[in-house]
Amino acid sequence: MRQLSILVLTNHTSHKSYFGLYPLLRMMAEHECCAKIAVASLALEGNVDFVNQRSTTVAVSDVDDSFVYSEGGDFYHHKSYQADLSDFDFVLIRSGHKPYLTHAFVTFLEDNMPEGCVMNRPSGVFETGTKAYLENFKELCAPSKLCSTVGDVKAFLEATDAVLKPLRESGGDGIIKVEGGVCMEGQKSFSMDELFQRLDKYFATGEQYLAVTFLKNVYAGDKRLVVVNGKIVGWALRKGADGNWLCNISGGGSAHPCDVEPGDQHIVDIVDPVLRRKGVIMYGVDTLTGNDGERILSELNTANVGILSECEEHCDEPVFENISNGLWQYMQKNSA
């Protein structure tokens, strides 16, 4: 069994105390396959040239028992040293797209690492990390329409209440619910006329919305499934705060125990072979109860799946250990 060196890229300035990155990497560092795990924050001043693709040198810190969250990111500042991409067998990305993971930067990573050694494969994440990609699995989702004009949205709303999703936002940002002629973004309500004015300006920029039929059971919560190397390794039910229809933890929602139902597994069985062909090894699947009582695919999170700590707390599986084992199994199989 070959021991491997891993570079993990993140942005410590976006972290919270409950983020699962810290226990996950400490767990991975204890694995028998681990030669070294180093973590680099792309927000460090010492990584400006790396982020701007001017150098393959990166400021890193080795993960050990002292790798814990602190508000100022003390670990990243006090234990850093210079390394090169070529020092590592694999790169694991644990950061959202903004502001550092530009298309140019992740292409730079792919170009400077052996094929299959950046997890998830950046080109695969850019293809699958948009709401529009759900259109490839229409049989698993609520009725939807990719909208480029106000007319598209009006036509969709003639038949159903809807949720309008911007294609590359996350954490519930920018999502608009239209129910009974009332529009809601977060806790703010506004009229249909204002909606159409806003959409007209938005579409003029060349952006699109995915319009999805509003499901009445959304208030019961949505289920986050964490998938690694083809297996569901953790899960939790998310519910919105104080009756809020949005269930995101970042928006004040809460996590609860739940079970993996046959319908959830069926969804993963269909999407996983497609995602793995695109180099997406670790990702999140969100499912809802449809109006017919069956499980419905709501979201795919292929960039930086979250609520790992909540899954560890609320499901009857050692989630961090499962993720660690799944990633190491993938790396052992795909190491040069």
Percentage with pLDDT > 70 across the chain: 96
335 domain residue, yes or no: no
Q: Are residues 196 and 173 in the same domain?
A: yes
Q: Are residues 199 and 289 in the same domain?
A: no
| H/E stretch holding 100 | none
Distance (Å, rounded) from C-alpha 120 to C-alpha 65?
26
330 domain residue, yes or no: no
Q: Are residues 20 and 100 in the same domain?
A: yes
**Of 46-50, 116-120, 248-252, 265-269, where does mean pLDDT reach its minimum?**
248-252
pLDDT of residue 46: 95
Mean pLDDT of 147-172: 92
Q: Are residues 185 and 275 in the same domain?
A: no
CATH number of residue 274's parent domain: 3.30.470.20
261 domain residue, yes or no: yes
Mean pLDDT of 61-88: 94
* Residue 94 tokens, joined: 């644990």
DSSP structural state of residue 38:
E
Distance (Å, rounded) from C-alpha 236 to C-alpha 287?
11
Q: Are residues 165 and 74 in the same domain?
A: no
Last residue of a domain, one of 180, 214, 248: 214
136 domain residue, yes or no: no
| Sign, CA torsion 115/50/21/106 | negative
322 domain residue, yes or no: no
* Residue 218 tokens, joined: 């959304």
CATH number of residue 149's parent domain: 3.30.1490.20
Distance (Å, rounded) from C-alpha 89 to C-alpha 311?
29
Q: Are residues 42 and 65 in the same domain?
A: yes
Distance (Å, rounded) from C-alpha 15 to C-alpha 51?
19
Domain count along the chain? 3
**Of 22-31, 55-64, 95-104, 186-195, where does mean pLDDT reach its minimum?**
95-104
Mean pLDDT of 325-331: 97
Q: Are residues 224 and 182 in the same domain?
A: no
89 domain residue, yes or no: yes
Q: Are residues 70 and 160 in the same domain?
A: no
Reduced to 3 states (helix: H, G, I; strand: E, B; else coil), residue 123 is: helix
| H/E stretch holding 76 | helix 74-78
223 domain residue, yes or no: yes
pLDDT tens for 252-285 read 678 899 999 999 999 999 999 999 999 999 999 9
Last residue of a domain, one of 104, 119, 134: 119
176 domain residue, yes or no: yes
Q: Give residue 133's pLDDT band: very low, low, confident or very high (50, 70, 90).
A: very high
Q: Are residues 91 and 68 in the same domain?
A: yes
- The total number of residues shown for the chain amounts to 336
Q: Are residues 272 and 225 in the same domain?
A: yes
Distance (Å, rounded) from C-alpha 125 to C-alpha 123?
5
Q: Are 62 and 37 in contact (CB under 8 A)?
A: yes
Q: Are residues 13 and 107 in the same domain?
A: yes
Segments forming the whole domain that contains residue 280: 217-317
* Residue 297 tokens, joined: 């695919």
Q: Which of 182, 206, 205 is nearest to 193 (CA)?
A: 182
Q: Are residues 292 and 305 in the same domain?
A: yes
